[in-house]
């Protein structure tokens, strides 16, 4: 009993120690950082890992306008290409691109965006406007639409259409075309 009483007295003398004020505004490893949208990455990262935007304010510009119709589609030429910093920037905006393979083979088409801004749909169409494939399966965690077009015939014009699910979405995106 006496040992238990001594132990109780010893423990009551222990405590957390003096309080040290914590400066919540200063991070441990450097100056304060600006808040970033959900999938942000450093601007010096690989193009496929870069953020669509750098703050909570959407800055949407599309230097390839006006490519809003199949007849005015931006020609992506014949090979692997990355189109950086384009976007669906106005109500009912749709972006069209075209490519013509010079040899038979498979082609991968990818758009990458941030669901924080909206949701996009990727369509592939043939030269007469018929739908070849559609990708509309992105999630908030994975803002990406991908289409693999196997056995694309040489010299057959392929159209790529990027559009928003909602008419008022403003969605910057990256487009990748990879000949496999």
Residue 4 inside a domain? The answer is: no
At 8, the pLDDT band (50, 70, 90 cuts) reads very low
26 compared with 104, residue with greater pLDDT: 104
pLDDT digits (tens, 9 = 90+) for 93-149: 889 999 998 889 999 999 998 887 888 999 999 989 899 999 998 877 778 999 999
pLDDT higher than 50, residue 18: yes
Residue 45 inside a domain? The answer is: no
Residue 17 inside a domain? The answer is: no
Distances 34 to 62, 69, 110, 170 between C-alpha atoms, Å: 25, 38, 29, 22
Proportion of the chain above pLDDT 70, given as a percent: 63
d(CA 145, CA 108): 11
For the chain, the domain total comes to 1
First to last CA, the chain: 81
Cα angle 150-152-157, degrees, rounded to a multiple of 5: 140
pLDDT at 149: 94
Residue 21 inside a domain? The answer is: no
State the pairing for strand pair 171-179/105-113: antiparallel
Residue 32 inside a domain? The answer is: no
**CATH classification at residue 140:** 2.60.120.380
**SS3 of 87, please?**
strand
* β-strand partners of 94: 163
Residue 46 inside a domain? The answer is: no
In whole numbers, what is the pLDDT of the chain averaged over residues? 73
Q: Which domain holds residue 112?
A: 70-179
pLDDT digits (tens, 9 = 90+) for 45-68: 455 554 444 444 455 666 667 877
Residue 104 inside a domain? The answer is: yes
Residue 150 inside a domain? The answer is: yes
């Amino acid at each position: 009993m006496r040992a238990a009483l001594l132990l109780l007295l010893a423990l009551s003398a222990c405590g957390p120690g003096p309080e040290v004020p914590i400066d919540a505004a200063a991070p441990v490893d450097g100056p304060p950082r600006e808040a970033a949208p959900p999938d942000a990455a450093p601007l010096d990262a690989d193009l496929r890992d870069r953020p669509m935007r750098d703050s909570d304010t959407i800055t949407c510009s599309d230097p390839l306008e006006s490519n809003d119709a199949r007849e005015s589609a931006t020609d992506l030429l014949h090979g692997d290409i990355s189109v950086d910093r384009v976007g669906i920037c106005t109500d009912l905006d749709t972006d069209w691109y075209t490519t013509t393979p010079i040899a038979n083979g498979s082609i991968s088409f990818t758009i990458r965006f941030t669901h924080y801004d909206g949701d996009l749909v990727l369509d592939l169409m043939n030269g007469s406007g018929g739908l070849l494939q559609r990708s509309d399966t992105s999630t908030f965690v994975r803002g990406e639409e991908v289409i693999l077009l196997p056995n694309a015939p040489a010299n057959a014009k392929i159209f790529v259409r990027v559009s928003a699910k909602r008419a008022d979405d403003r969605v910057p995106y990256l487009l990748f075309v990879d000949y496999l």
